[in-house]
Structure 1
Amino acid sequence: MQGESGRKFASVGLVIDNFDVILIVDKSSNFEIYDSLISSDTKVYIEQLVFTFCAYHDIKTSISIRVVQIPPRHSGFGSGTQLALAIGKAISEIYKVKCSVRKIAEILGRGKRSGIGIAGFNYGGFLIDAGKNNEKTDPPPLIARAEFPKEWPLLLILKKDVTGLHGEKEKFALQHLICDSSVSVDQVCRKVFLGVLPAILERDFESFSAGLNFIQDYMGELFYKSQGRSKFLSPEINNLLGWLKKNFLVSIGQSSWGPTGFAFFKDEVSLAKALTAANKKLVINETLELRVVKAKNSGFSQNWNQ
């Protein structure tokens, strides 16, 4: 949505396994970050999160943070939101501060456009938010959630050493989106609520695939000029997903601004056949990394050593 209805930036998303942010956070005499897994930019971002959250609640920054796992940043995994919420939640527990996940997001500046990362952190599963209210600063509210079929595997296609639009470049692109599609926003909303969502609830992969492909075609046209006149940020991912769509029953797309692409399959057998054929046809570029994951239908978890 682009604001005509009083809302904009409505989002659809799915939480997946094996791409979580995992942290070990504890009290410490000094503020410390054990950063062997992260870039200098991510270290600076963590520092900003801690100082902002602690300053808001007027508590000390005497904590240590060890990053055990973090998804690639600016690649469509919502790692910035995951990281912010995980740090805010951990500090809240350590210092016995009552603070909801949505409040943590507000304090740390998350959810300015999409509410999927916040809802995903809380609940997991397949999620739809209502978009941003033009008159409010609150994160978009969650309006639908469904348990996603675990039997539908998801092939992730990552592009090495490439990031999607973020920061000021993303803001500029969003302000200058031009869509020449004949498809209306109303049609996309109808496809989400009367196509994709019922198909998930009824375990109807064919209808799900058709609905999500319809939405991705629209999003590809919307992002077309911002992505170098392409429906996908990465030409290599575009080629592989196009080949999969042409030869197999799949539902394809790009996560946010990419570059990560994805393809849903009806079952593990179909996925295995597709990967075997793709390797034989040499359509998997050497710059790509493939990962097979499944839906995660639960939110964050925490363990405390007393």
Structure 2
Amino acid sequence: MTGVVEVRTGARLHFGLFATTPPGRPFGGIGLMIDRPGFVLQAWRTRREDRVFASPELAGRITEFVAGVRTDLQRPWVGQSVEDPAAPVAFRIVKTIPSHRGFGSGTQLAYAVAAAMERVLDVRPVMGGCDLGRGKRSAVGTLGFGDGGFITDRGFEHRTSLETRWNRRDVPTDWRFVIVDPLGPGGPAGAAESTGFQALPPMSRCATEALFEFLAEQILPGLDQSDFARFAGGIADFNRLVGEHFAPIQGGVYGHPLIRNLAESLNETKWPYLAQSSWGPAAVAPCESEGSANELIAFLNRHVSQDEAKMFVAKPMNHGATVRRFRRKPAT
């Protein structure tokens, strides 16, 4: 197929896991998709060999994901291609999600590559059969890539089927999410992340039950009834309890000292809801409207300098990543 395929993703916010045990089983968790930051990935057929136009770090990850997709294309249940599965493909990163900040960049990039190859090689379906090494602890980002919205992954708690393990809801479109991303090193990933989990004691059954209670009594009813305070309060409570479990290895309920200080400051304002996303360091403050979010940004600008953190407003993303084809020759 000729032309350029372009995939646009959102970013994943993850508010915490339901458990850290038993080993080898999914821990689940809750999170939602926002419209920024996001990847814009372009792909097209090339003549000789795969080419990647991206930073060295992203180029290495894309190459890894391409190899995973090609391996799965050999499996009989993935689907048949009218093109050669080994046909060379070129990739270009136009926009990116910063790595190891709490935005789920690895999962979004992995499935962006898979979706692009699906179109470029004319395979149906790639994503349905691919194992790209994502979602082993929580599938929030994987499901968010496909459908957007607020995702619940019940993890090892599910009893009957995959349908009961996962649940998706729209997020009210008027709500906004103020992101505070402290500058400096990112959160743990790879081997460091695995070491962190190994150092943690098992989350207590009592804590897991409390997390499911926050979900059932505050977060989901808040979404269903567009009750912002109920939803945001539930997210903050859920995230705080998870943070208490991770505090011994991340330095506190929130991993970055700037976020810990900010949480105390916001408790005295009309924006008392703050949650760290995944390992951080980024945190999110839900807001009921665009106006409220802009007020919060103005407040933050008086207390946090540009040398300390990046701050911006994101919208909820209630749809999956978009894939389009442009019938034009790529400029390389």
Q: Same fold (TM over 0.5)?
A: yes
The residue identity in structure 2 corresponding to 1:114 is S
Q: SS at 1:217's partner residue?
A: helix
Name 2:181's counterpart in structure 1: 158
For residues 223 and 139 of structure 1, do their structure 2 counterparts lie closer, same or farther at Cα, with a shift above 3 Å needed?
A: farther
Stretches of structure 2 that go unaligned for 5 or more consecutive residues are: 1-18, 75-84, 328-332
The answer to whether the Cα contact below 8 Å between 2:177 and 2:286 also exists between their aligned partners in 1 is yes
Cα distance in 2 between the residues matched to 1:252 and 1:194: 19
- For residues 279 and 76 of structure 1, the distance between their equivalents in structure 2, rounded to whole angstroms, comes to 22
Q: CA 1:141/1:80 → structure 2, altered by over 3 Å: closer, same or farther?
A: farther
1:243 corresponds, among 247, 250, 265, to: 265
Q: Which residue of 2 aligns with 1:168?
A: 191
Given that 2:29 and 2:155 are in contact with CA atoms closer than 8 Å, whether structure 1 keeps it comes out as yes
Partner of 2:215: 192
Q: Render the CA deviation track for 1:103-127: whole Å, top value 9, x for unaligned.
A: 22x2x11111111111101100011
Which amino acid is the alignment partner of residue 157 of structure 1?
V
Q: For structure 1, which segment, 179-188 or 116-125, has the greater mean C-alpha deviation from structure 2 after superposition?
A: 179-188
**Equivalent residue for 1:47, pick from 60, 63, 79:** 63
Amino acid at match of 1:74: H
Asked if 1:118 is matched to 2:142, the reply is yes
* Residue type at the aligned position of 1:63: V
* CA separation of 1:152 and 1:230: change in aligned 2, threshold 3 A: same
SS at match of 1:247: coil
Distance change in 2, residues 1:203/1:305 (3 Å): same
In the other structure, the counterpart of 2:52 is 33
2:292 aligns with 270
Contact 1:127 1:142 in 2 (8 A): no
SS of residue in 1 equivalent to 2:320: coil
Residue number in structure 2 paired with 1:73: 99
Instruction: Quote the Cα distance in structure 1 between the aligned partners of 2:289 and 2:165.
Output: 29
Structure 1 gaps of 5+ residues are none
Preserved contact between residue 181 and residue 218 of structure 1 (Cα < 8 Å): no
Q: Is the 8 A contact 1:26 1:94 kept in 2?
A: yes
- Percent identity over the alignment? 27
Distance in 2 (CA, whole Å) between partners of 1:129 and 1:296 is 18
Instruction: Say yes or no: does 1:84 pair with 2:110.
Output: yes
**Who is 1:290 aligned against?**
311
Q: Is the 8 A contact 2:21 2:203 kept in 1?
A: no
Higher relative contact order (CA 8 A, sep 6+): 2
1:267-303 CA-partner distances (Å, limit 9, x unpaired): 23333333333444x3456320101111000001111
For the Cα contact (< 8 Å) 1:232–1:238, is it kept in 2? yes
Q: Aligned letter for 2:325?
A: W
Question: Are 1:130 and 2:154 counterparts?
Answer: yes
- Mapped partners of 1:286, 1:151: distance in 2: 30
**Equivalents in 2 of 1:180, 1:15: separation in Å?**
26
Cα displacement string for residues 158-189 of structure 1 (whole angstroms, at most 9, x for unaligned residues): 12232111111111111222379896211110
Structure 1 residues 30-85: Cα deviation after superposition (integer angstroms, max 9, x where no partner): 211112xx3x2221111111123223325215010010111111111111111111
- For 1:199 and 1:299, the matched residues in 2 are separated by 22
8 Å Cα contact 1:248/1:274 also seen in 2 = no
Distance in structure 1 (CA, Å) of the matches to 2:163 and 2:195: 21
Structure 2 distance, partners of 1:141, 1:50, is 31
Q: Give the structure 2 partner of residue 13 of structure 1.
A: 31
In the TM superposition, residue 147 of structure 1 has moved relative to its aligned partner by: 0.8
Deviation per residue, 1:168-212 (Å, 9 max, x gap): 111111122237989621111011122101101101111112211
User: Structure 1 pair 287/6, CA: closer, same or farther in 2 (3 Å)?
Assistant: closer
* TM-superposed deviation, 1:141: 7.3
Deviation at 1:132, TM superposition (A): 4.7
Q: Counterparts of 1:260 and 1:169 in 2: how far apart (Å)?
A: 18
Q: Secondary structure at the match of 1:128?
A: strand
Question: Which residue number in structure 1 is paired with residue 236 of structure 2?
Answer: 213
Instruction: Please tell me the residue identity of whatever aligns with 1:287.
Output: E
**Residue identity opposite 2:294 in structure 1:** A
Counterpart of 1:156, as a letter, is I
Aligned with 1:171: secondary structure? helix
SS of 2:103's partner is coil
Question: Counterpart in 1 of 2:225?
Answer: 202
